[in-house]
Structure 1
Amino acid sequence: MLKALARTPRRWAQLATALVLLLVPHLSSPPESPLLEDIRARDFIQVLTRNTPTTYYQGRQGPTGFEYELARRFAEHLGVSLSLETTGTISDVLRAVRQGSVDLGSAALPLDATRRGVHFSRPILELQPLVVFRRGMPPVDTPKELLGLSIAAIADSGASLALRELQKRYPELSWKESADLEVADLLHMIEAGELDAAVIYAHQFKLNRLFFPGVEDGFTLGKPLSLAWAVPASGGLGLLREVNRFIDDLREQGLLDTLVERYFGHDDYLEYVGARLFIRHVHQRLPEYEALFKEAARRTGFDWKLLAALGYQESHWEPDATSPTGVRGLMMLTLPTAEQVGVDNRLDPEQSIDGGARYLLSVKERLQEEIKEPDRTWMALAAYNVGLGHLYDAQKIAEMRGGDPYDWNDVREALPLLQKREWYEKVRHGYARGGEPVIYVRNIRRYYEVLNYVDRSQQQFFQLNQRAPGEGEDAPLFDIVPPVL
């Protein structure tokens, strides 16, 4: 009896232990989203990207780029800070995500469900593979015309997936792949005759075509792929759910379309022949005056490339330019303006550039304090063209129409109304060819964008000549994908 009683507490203990063993795994199992909880605990998210024009780069006012903008907004969505790092290749990004050394990969990644160790988000942007080829070659309009050509693609970009699909139809198809090159490198090699063609994405060609006028688009190849973000599969589903929720919200609010348009939507912003001429002048004329623009920028606080864009709009960087109305010089100063800024020889490039920069600054300083950047610069440029009085009139019209006189978008819509009697009779300075400053500012902004692109891409353009120490001239740039015969 005593033995039986002694065993009873032991049985209860065994039962209690069994219950604990059943409950503890449930209570102590890792949470469904340990990575998301970790991000919120440390108060920042680690994002890995690549330094390219379509993802992330340093602009005039700091970091910018399509995927940087998305990453910044996503960090705000989570209520944490953004820690952004860059690496060289897409495979580096995916490897870091798979290993869990970063929280999120955002680097023009093609959605590829076959990859292990990572979860991809919902599609963000459509990626349409596009064949491009060297101008002057027989047109490359069909897949069969790729046979026998020297073709290249960026490894792991997804563009090669379209080539692999095509190879099923044409087993003799062969091409080169490299993880160490960028789109600009491929386009440069096509122009230089080192390649016949390449497969990139349509939006990449749209962004780069003005800088490589020797490259033409051929035809779209295969079905569109999807740009997506990647998160570690080992981190649970919480972060992935938040990423997808964020993308859905952006799309529903129309903000995603707005960002796509902002970064990839202005393919037609320079008429193509004019763009080719501008790029030629950038290389042939601008170097002679670049130091003068930089010195004028140092004195006035403007970006030298903005002053150069203004000079190109005025004279195409021709120091002897003269208009029928008597405006003269590289910055096309009127005689009264030249006298106002102390320029005694308008045909002297140094005086003209310095005088034009100081005049633009004086106009900018006379604008109302309520006008903030970048609108303040755009309005100063408009006034450089049409006169400060007419700009004030356009501001007044904008206000009469219920707009904001300190917002460039509203003033831009009001300026052409200075050509209509019903409006110019209501303002102080009367008639003006108000449509001209709108085009004027638009052109300068777009020349400025091109100069910014060229400036930040110089090393990228010459990457082929910057091999790592120890690499010989014959070091392979590409891996060859052979025919399947």
Structure 2
Amino acid sequence: MHSSSTSGSRLCLHSFSSLSIKALALSTAIIPFHSINASKTTHQFDHVVNSNKLVVVAVKNPTTIFQNGNQMHGFGYDLVRTYAHSLNVQLDFQVVNDNATALKWVKQGKANLAMTTADYKVIESKHLMMFSATCGDDASMQANGLNANLNWVFKSAEDPLSQTASDFICRSKQNGATKQLASFYNRNVVKPESWDTIQRDLNKRLPIYQASFKKTAKQYDLDWHLLAAIGYQESYLKPNSVSPTGVRGIMMLTNSTAKAMGVSNRVDATQSIQGGAKYYDQMLSRYAHIPLPDRNWYALIAYNMGPGAVDQIQKRVRAQGKNANQWVNVYAYLARNKASNARFGQALQYVTRIRSYLEHIKSTPQWVSV
């Protein structure tokens, strides 16, 4: 559908931004802002196929991406990563400082698409086209504290790249993948009023154990912030912690795991951190065939449930005809069955809270140092 006037394009955008976009959801139609002569347009799709690379540009924000050193994760990042996988190409994800730069890259052909929350009037003024990154699933985004105004922006509506992207986005909405991804990246998994208490805990306890986390993380080539996030989830960083099931210490190791990791005293903070890091590193190695960031989530639930339990979950996911090495499928299985198995609900809370704690610690100025 082409728009021949500003008012027409504005009407199209408003229709798309609401949940009353049935025509788009069913037909996966693209909404251009201006008529474009396809014969004069160089298709980005050809560049993607020929280079075997999808170049995506975005501005760092809680809905799109969280950058943890060389590792990235986030709702927008995971969504576009899955799209690149569907095209069987590599993802080249670039982060810029502002939406204006992201749009400029698309206009100049430096990026194949942009993920942006820029105002539609700005996008329209650049003679670019856009559509909702969730096919208008505002409800799932808002329920999980994510920005419902996240859009994918392309240079041309006639480009097969924008057309395949629109198909992918609306299929993801229809098969529930978008909703599950939004649920995993829920910004409200920790209640807003709890952060003051968490920050007080960290200010009081983390300085005591920071050196141990850093030293041990360096030994196993891990991020010390992640180890600290695991420790906070496990014990609130209290070395004398003990659970009703008998796990103990900052990293809450079972007696058998502690022995296997060479820990003789589980309530000794240094030994506990060492043992927890060693065990987590082993879990990462177990899932080395799974790309990052998903590998981290598999390792975390294995740390929580045990790798044998994760193996059984993967087996059941495969029996349903789905890829058991894709986190969104394992997450969906846990979410669907948590009512009948309390351990599944605990595992979901475990991994999502650690993700939240990691992002918080990593974003707090006093803990940013490597």
**Range class of TM-score, shorter chain:** 0.5 to 0.7
Q: CA deviation digits over 1:100-135, x for unaligned, max 9? A: 55543322233228833322223334598xxxxxxx
Match of 1:447 in 2: 353
* Gapped regions of structure 1 (runs ≥ 5): 1-28, 129-201, 209-223, 418-433, 463-485
Check if 1:355 corresponds to 2:261: no
Match of 2:178 in 1: 259
Kindly indicate whether the alpha-carbon contact (under 8 Å) linking 2:229 and 2:358 is maintained by their aligned counterparts in 1: no
Kindly indicate whether the alpha-carbon contact (under 8 Å) linking 2:233 and 2:354 is maintained by their aligned counterparts in 1: no
Kindly indicate whether the alpha-carbon contact (under 8 Å) linking 1:35 and 1:103 is maintained by their aligned counterparts in 2: no
Distance 1:368 1:230 in 2: 34
Match of 1:379 in 2: 302
How big is the shift at 1:351? 2.0
How big is the shift at 1:316? 1.4
Judging changes above 3 Å, is the alpha-carbon distance between structure 1 residues 316 and 76 closer, same or farther for their aligned structure 2 residues? closer
Match of 1:39 in 2: 47
Check if 1:52 corresponds to 2:61: yes
How big is the shift at 1:453? 1.4
Judging changes above 3 Å, is the alpha-carbon distance between structure 1 residues 458 and 117 closer, same or farther for their aligned structure 2 residues? same
Letter matched to residue 108 of structure 1: T
Distance 1:364 1:74 in 2: 25
Judging changes above 3 Å, is the alpha-carbon distance between structure 1 residues 56 and 330 closer, same or farther for their aligned structure 2 residues? closer
Judging changes above 3 Å, is the alpha-carbon distance between structure 1 residues 124 and 381 closer, same or farther for their aligned structure 2 residues? closer
Check if 1:457 corresponds to 2:363: yes
> Quick one: higher RCO (CA 8 Å, sep 6+), 1 or 2?
1
How big is the shift at 1:289? 1.4
Out of 114, 119, 134, the residue aligned to residue 110 of structure 1 is 119
Match of 1:89 in 2: 98
Judging changes above 3 Å, is the alpha-carbon distance between structure 1 residues 355 and 108 closer, same or farther for their aligned structure 2 residues? same
How big is the shift at 1:355? 3.1
Check if 1:280 corresponds to 2:200: yes
Q: CA deviation digits over 1:343-368, x for unaligned, max 9? A: 44443211222234445667888x89
More strand by share: 1
Distance 2:123 2:243 in 1: 63
Match of 2:216 in 1: 296
Kindly indicate whether the alpha-carbon contact (under 8 Å) linking 2:123 and 2:129 is maintained by their aligned counterparts in 1: no
Distance 1:337 1:86 in 2: 40
**Aligned partner of residue 58 in structure 1, secondary structure:** strand
Letter matched to residue 441 of structure 1: A
Match of 1:206 in 2: 145
Distance 2:78 2:121 in 1: 23
Letter matched to residue 132 of structure 2: P
**Aligned partner of residue 122 in structure 1, secondary structure:** strand
Match of 2:162 in 1: 243
Letter matched to residue 230 of structure 1: V
CA RMSD of superposed structures (Å): 5.0
Alignment of 1:13-412 (within 5 A): 31-36=39-44, 39=47, 43=51, 44=53, 46-59=55-68, 62-75=71-84, 82-98=91-107, 102-112=111-121, 115-125=124-134, 203=142, 206=145, 226-232=149-155, 237-239=157-159, 242-254=161-173, 258-259=177-178, 261-263=180-182, 266-271=186-191, 273-300=193-220, 303-322=223-242, 328-333=248-253, 338=258, 341-358=261-278, 373=295, 374-375=297-298, 377-383=300-306, 395=312
Letter matched to residue 154 of structure 2: V
Distance 1:105 1:368 in 2: 31
Distance 1:320 1:260 in 2: 39
Letter matched to residue 145 of structure 2: K
Distance 1:266 1:46 in 2: 26
Distance 1:122 1:293 in 2: 44
Judging changes above 3 Å, is the alpha-carbon distance between structure 1 residues 316 and 243 closer, same or farther for their aligned structure 2 residues? same
Letter matched to residue 447 of structure 1: R
Distance 2:282 2:103 in 1: 51
Distance 2:104 2:211 in 1: 44
Judging changes above 3 Å, is the alpha-carbon distance between structure 1 residues 204 and 347 closer, same or farther for their aligned structure 2 residues? same
**Aligned partner of residue 94 in structure 2, secondary structure:** strand
Letter matched to residue 95 of structure 2: T
How big is the shift at 1:251? 0.8
Q: CA deviation digits over 1:315-343, x for unaligned, max 9? A: 21112334567654323445665555444
**Aligned partner of residue 254 in structure 1, secondary structure:** helix
Distance 2:351 2:359 in 1: 12
Distance 1:205 1:460 in 2: 28
More helix by share: 2
Structure exhibiting the larger radius of gyration computed from Cα positions: 1
How big is the shift at 1:89? 1.5
Judging changes above 3 Å, is the alpha-carbon distance between structure 1 residues 245 and 260 closer, same or farther for their aligned structure 2 residues? same
**Aligned partner of residue 117 in structure 2, secondary structure:** strand
**Aligned partner of residue 118 in structure 1, secondary structure:** coil
After the TM superposition, which of the residue ranges 58-67 and 445-454 deviates more from structure 2?
58-67
**Aligned partner of residue 31 in structure 1, secondary structure:** helix
Distance 2:283 2:114 in 1: 45
Query: TM (normalized to structure 2)?
Result: 0.62
How big is the shift at 1:50? 1.6
How big is the shift at 1:246? 2.2
Distance 2:349 2:84 in 1: 35
Query: TM (normalized to structure 1)?
Result: 0.49
How big is the shift at 1:58? 3.1
Judging changes above 3 Å, is the alpha-carbon distance between structure 1 residues 227 and 344 closer, same or farther for their aligned structure 2 residues? closer
* Gapped regions of structure 2 (runs ≥ 5): 1-36
**Aligned partner of residue 128 in structure 2, secondary structure:** strand
Identity of aligned residues (%): 24
Paired positions, count:
315
Kindly indicate whether the alpha-carbon contact (under 8 Å) linking 2:145 and 2:188 is maintained by their aligned counterparts in 1: no
Q: CA deviation digits over 1:232-268, x for unaligned, max 9? A: 4xxx6532x6414421343135368523541466244
Distance 1:370 1:87 in 2: 30
